[in-house]
Amino acid sequence: MKLFSKERPEIPIVHHTKEDGSAWTIKEKLWLGLSVAEYKKQFFRNPVNWFMLMIFAIGIPLILGRYAFGLGWVTHASNDYPWGLFLGFGLFGMVPLSASGFMLGTTVELFGRKDFHSIERLALLNGLLGYFFAVLFLEVDLGMPWRLPYPMFVSLGPAAVLFLVAWHVATYLSVQIAEVLPAFFEWIGWLKGKRIIRKYVLGLTVAGIILSTLHQGALGALFTYAPAKVHPLWVSSNFQWIHFFVSSIFGGLSMVIIASTLIKNYMGWRCDDDFKNNLDYVTIGMAKGASLAMITYLVVKLVAVAHDQEWTYLLTGWGSYYMLELGVAVVLPMFMFAFGVRNNWVTLIRFGAFIAAIGIIWNRLNTALVCFNWQMYQEIPHWKEVWITVTIYALYFLTYRFIVYRLPIVYEWKGER
Amino acid sequence: MKKLNRRSFIKGGLATTAAAMVVKEKTSAASGDFDNYPEGMGVIVDLTRCVGCRSCEAACNKEQDLPEPAVPFDDFSVFDHMHHGEKRRTDETAYTVVNRYDTPEIDHPLFRKIQCNHCNEPACLTSCFVNAYTKTPEGAVIYNAKVCVGCRTCMVACPFYIPTFKYSSAFTPRIMKCIFCYDTRLKNGQPPACVEACPQEALTFGRRKDVLKIGKQRIRETPGKYVDHIYGEHEVGGTAWMYLSSVPFDKVGFDTHVPKEPIINSVKEFLAMVPMVLTIWPGLFVGFHLLATRKDKVKEMEKEAELKKAKENDEKEEQV
Ligand code: SF4
Ligand code: SF4
Ligand code: SF4
């Protein structure tokens, strides 16, 4: 894209009309104002795309195979480990990293911190896509994916935690679609739609907080169904939901920092000055918030160990692993954030965010797989399961990029708004 | 948009109250009104009587129309089969399996039959979000494949690792687990196939409260023969199938760390918090919003006042 944006002043598209006063059609907007040949050229110039194609070449047949031959064909079909990577990574990992939407929505719309405005849309999009793909992961993992609406409409089991997760993720997904739609409406030029949503923004934001608190927590509470299976250090009937909720706060913020860093470095042509100039400032702000959440998290973790009288476990091998996780995944990035905030060292914050996000996934995988059945054997996922997981994540990446390339997410629409 | 739209606020409030009501129903259902059918049936398994003949396995296979086993039922080499260092377990082809345990305490091996224990407050049932499980008044925990989504939470929740999934099927997968022979026998008051097939009377079928009495009687009347505990009397809130053993239960593969209370109790902490969040959060955060944007509003009002004053002044000047 860099290639063309230099030569052609009207690219990237930020306005309904071209230089000469005629309007861009939706089709042209979709092609980024390039001709098909130009589009292809820029697509194949990018080594990332080749890498993606490679993943898909094997991953898509595997996914088709999963639907044709059953879950047993791509996983180890374990009855001891009913949940594998699809949920361990795709649901339990993706959802906390997508808490960004409600975090920034709250900051900007509810607390009136307009200074974070430039990152709000990216945070909302990050949230929406994360949830959407978590549901996709779920659709790969469910035994009968065609029955996805059953818990909503066919046979209700409202006493179950998963019932709450299902309802809340579904509702929250719609809330997030509504929150991202204004960007889409600007882009297609349907301002009425945008105004309608604008009216409900406060309601949507408050709904977002409630739904997020509950389902982020509920994902944790799911493991309290297995108090004797998950290692006691990773499960606590009293605090599990708080652990999952609080860690989703810094997880979501870290993910936005990562996304914005990648966008700034590899999609500079798409960002406007407002986004670029404010980025360091908002990154520092988000790091501040994240480090506070991390402190809270560490305290609640400690309280849980004390409350459940688990000190002796800390002296075992599992205890060391637990300390390692907390040290690398939380304490280290927390200090990086704190130090970065104090010294305005944004690069350090960005690395910290990267570690924190991986750390969240590590924690969720620990809870769902590594420390699950801790008195039994360890389940190593089947390679096909790993490949499918990577494939869906790659699809997530491409969709993310596709949207940021086009919609006014990291730039402001210059046409009517 | 800046102004708090009163109408949307009230609407939001209503929606959350409605939601809170739904959730209230939820929590009361979760506290387990379905438990303890007093006349429910049960089985007591006496490990000291079991000789590991696998007749029960064969009978179950036939009764439940399960596929032909890879190793025939009269082949006892299966007792040495290990998978990931674990003894055999239930799977999509077997609702019940017998395992051998060699313990130093006694000079002969002990055998343990496992199957669904038909808990009083089943974890599988309480964790299922489409209500696929039912605890029948007869004591069986049965499963409805027509509504199951295949999320496998029940497998995670079952403390005894009983439900299994038909992973091999792409189009008709389902949970596979012992159903106490509900459809074919229990419903009509008959004992399950495995119990009937046992040549050693290691399995005793009857009302749960009666077989529990029988178990206690055996412990009392033959001192020294049994450890003084009936596994399943209290474990996870009590189970319909219970066990007697001559060695400590953890020596023969039982998980003695399962909670004494029903599994759902460890989830209640979260369920109790749900209505709170639903009712308190909206007011709290709208309040925050008003506080946080108050400064803006004050400024706005000041500005308006100034404008007004300026206008008045203008008008006055004009008049003058
Ligand atoms: S033993 Fe497991 S499957 Fe059987 S009723 Fe209890 S929780 Fe459910
Ligand atoms: S796998 Fe089926 S029966 Fe088990 S919890 Fe999920 S929907 Fe319910
Ligand atoms: S009760 Fe019936 S289904 Fe259960 S193990 Fe015995 S024979 Fe099989």
The predicted-structure confidence for A154-183, as pLDDT tens digits, reads as follows 888 888 999 999 998 899 999 999 999 999
Residue B195 to residue B60: CA distance in whole angstroms = 9
In this structure, what CATH number is given to the domain that contains residue B172? Answer: 3.30.70.20
Ligand 3 atom 3: residue of nearest CA: B178
Q: Which residue has the tokens 């994916």?
A: A145
More confident residue, A245 or B6: A245
Subunit contact A162:B293, Cβ cutoff 8 A? no
Asked if residue B138 belongs to a domain, the reply is yes
Burial (CB count within 10 angstroms: exposed 0-12, middle 13-18, buried 19+), residue A389: buried
Subunit contact B159:A229, Cβ cutoff 8 A? yes
**Can you give the pLDDT at residue B92?**
92
Are B254 and B275 found together in one domain? no
Asked if residue A33 belongs to a domain, the reply is no
pLDDT over 80 at B305, yes or no: no
In this structure, what CATH number is given to the domain that contains residue A305? Answer: 1.20.1630.10
Asked if residue A417 belongs to a domain, the reply is no
**Can you give the pLDDT at residue B6?**
35
Q: pLDDT by residue (tens digit) across B179-203?
A: 999 999 999 999 999 999 999 999 9
Chain B, window 171-190: residues with a beta carbon less than 8 angstroms from a chain A beta carbon: 173-174
**Can you give the pLDDT at residue A113?**
86
**pLDDT band per the 50, 70, 90 thresholds, residue A5:** low
Q: Which residue has the tokens 């091999």?
A: B168
Residue type for position B213: K
Q: pLDDT by residue (tens digit) across A309-323?
A: 889 999 999 999 999
Asked if residue B297 belongs to a domain, the reply is yes
Residue B87: phi and psi, rounded to 5, are -70, 175
Residue B111 DSSP code: E
More confident residue, A192 or B317: A192
**Can you give the pLDDT at residue B15?**
40
Question: Which residue range is the domain that position A371 belongs to?
Answer: 46-405
| Those residues with Cβ within 8 angstroms of residue B314's Cβ, 6 or more apart along the chain or in another chain | none
Tell how far the Cα of B182 is from the centroid of ligand 3, in angstroms: 9
More confident residue, A332 or B310: A332
Are B222 and B292 found together in one domain? no
Asked if residue A20 belongs to a domain, the reply is no
Asked if residue A234 belongs to a domain, the reply is yes
Contacts of A229 in chain B (CB under 8 A): 156, 159
DSSP track, B63-95: HTTPPPPSS-TT-GGGGG--BTTB----BTTBS
Task: State the total domains in chain B.
Answer: 2
Mean pLDDT score of chain B, rounded to an integer?
85
**pLDDT band per the 50, 70, 90 thresholds, residue A338:** very high
> B158 in ligand 1 pocket by Cβ < 6 Å?
yes
Tell how far the Cα of B178 is from the centroid of ligand 1, in angstroms: 9
Are B110 and B216 found together in one domain? yes
More confident residue, A316 or A2: A316
pLDDT over 50 at B16, yes or no: no
Are B198 and B91 found together in one domain? yes
Residue B258 to residue B263: CA distance in whole angstroms = 9
pLDDT over 80 at B282, yes or no: yes
Burial (CB count within 10 angstroms: exposed 0-12, middle 13-18, buried 19+), residue A82: buried
pLDDT over 60 at A287, yes or no: yes
Pocket around ligand 3 at a 6 A CB cut-off:
B 59-60, 63-64, 95-96, 115, 178-181, 192-194
Candidate from A22-31, A369-378, B206-215, B308-317 with smallest mean pLDDT: B308-317
Asked if residue B213 belongs to a domain, the reply is yes
Are B190 and B66 found together in one domain? yes
Are B103 and B246 found together in one domain? yes
Contacts of B281 in chain A (CB under 8 A): 206, 209-210, 213
Tell how far the Cα of A392 is from the centroid of ligand 2, in angstroms: 24
Q: Of B9, B156, B167, which has the smallest distance from its Cβ to A226's Cβ?
A: B156
Q: Which residue has the tokens 């989504």?
A: B149
Are B161 and B189 found together in one domain? yes
Residue A364 to residue A297: CA distance in whole angstroms = 14
Asked if residue B216 belongs to a domain, the reply is yes
Subunit contact A206:B286, Cβ cutoff 8 A? yes
Asked if residue A372 belongs to a domain, the reply is yes
More confident residue, B3 or B223: B223
Pair B42, B211: CB distance under 8 Å: yes
Q: Which residue has the tokens 């496992």?
A: B114
Asked if residue B2 belongs to a domain, the reply is no
Residue A360 to residue A351: CA distance in whole angstroms = 14
Are B246 and B299 found together in one domain? no
Are B240 and B282 found together in one domain? no
What average pLDDT does this structure show over A45-51? 92
Burial (CB count within 10 angstroms: exposed 0-12, middle 13-18, buried 19+), residue B220: exposed
What six digits make up the tokens of B98? Answer: 């017998």
Asked if residue A356 belongs to a domain, the reply is yes
**pLDDT band per the 50, 70, 90 thresholds, residue B9:** very low
Q: How far is B253 from chain A (nearest CA, A)?
A: 12
Are B276 and B174 found together in one domain? no
Task: State the total domains in chain A.
Answer: 1
Contacts of B258 in chain A (CB under 8 A): 228
Strands B41-46 and B241-244: parallel
| pLDDT more than 90, % of chain A | 65
| Those residues with Cβ within 8 angstroms of residue B217's Cβ, 6 or more apart along the chain or in another chain | none
Mean pLDDT score of chain A, rounded to an integer?
91
3-state percent helix, strand, coil for chain B, nearest multiple of 5? 40, 15, 45
Are B187 and B307 found together in one domain? no
Q: Kindly state whether B117 is in contact with chain A, defined as any CB-CB distance less than 8 angstroms.
A: no
Question: Which residue range is the domain that position B285 belongs to?
Answer: 270-319
Asked if residue B12 belongs to a domain, the reply is no
**Can you give the pLDDT at residue B29?**
41
Burial (CB count within 10 angstroms: exposed 0-12, middle 13-18, buried 19+), residue A319: middle
Q: Kindly state whether B270 is in contact with chain A, defined as any CB-CB distance less than 8 angstroms.
A: yes
What six digits make up the tokens of A195? Answer: 């105004």
What average pLDDT does this structure show over A142-147? 92
Are B122 and B187 found together in one domain? yes
Strands B141-143 and B133-135: antiparallel
Strands (E), B70-201: 97-101, 110-114, 133-135, 141-143, 164-165, 175-176
Taking CA–CA distances from A155, the nearest residue in chain B reads B130
| Those residues with Cβ within 8 angstroms of residue A392's Cβ, 6 or more apart along the chain or in another chain | A59, A63, A90, A133, A136, A137, A140
- Note the ipTM here: 0.89
| pLDDT more than 70, % of chain B | 86
Asked if residue A12 belongs to a domain, the reply is no
Pair A188, B162: CB distance under 8 Å: no
**pLDDT band per the 50, 70, 90 thresholds, residue B166:** very high
Residue A224 to residue A268: CA distance in whole angstroms = 45
Subunit contact A206:B281, Cβ cutoff 8 A? yes
Taking CA–CA distances from B158, the nearest residue in chain A reads A226
Q: Specify the ligand 1 atom closest to the Cα of B236.
A: 6
Asked if residue B4 belongs to a domain, the reply is no
How many other C-beta atoms can be found within 10 angstroms of the C-beta atom of residue B26?
Answer: 19
Tell how far the Cα of B239 is from the centroid of ligand 1, in angstroms: 9
Ligand in nearest proximity to the CA of B143 = 2
Candidate from A353-367, A379-393, B276-290 with smallest mean pLDDT: B276-290
Asked if residue A270 belongs to a domain, the reply is yes
Residue B239's SS3 state is strand
**pLDDT band per the 50, 70, 90 thresholds, residue B136:** very high
Q: pLDDT by residue (tens digit) across B240-277?
A: 999 999 999 999 999 999 999 999 998 988 888 888 88
Query: Alpha carbon B43 to chain centroid distance?
Result: 20
**pLDDT band per the 50, 70, 90 thresholds, residue A6:** low
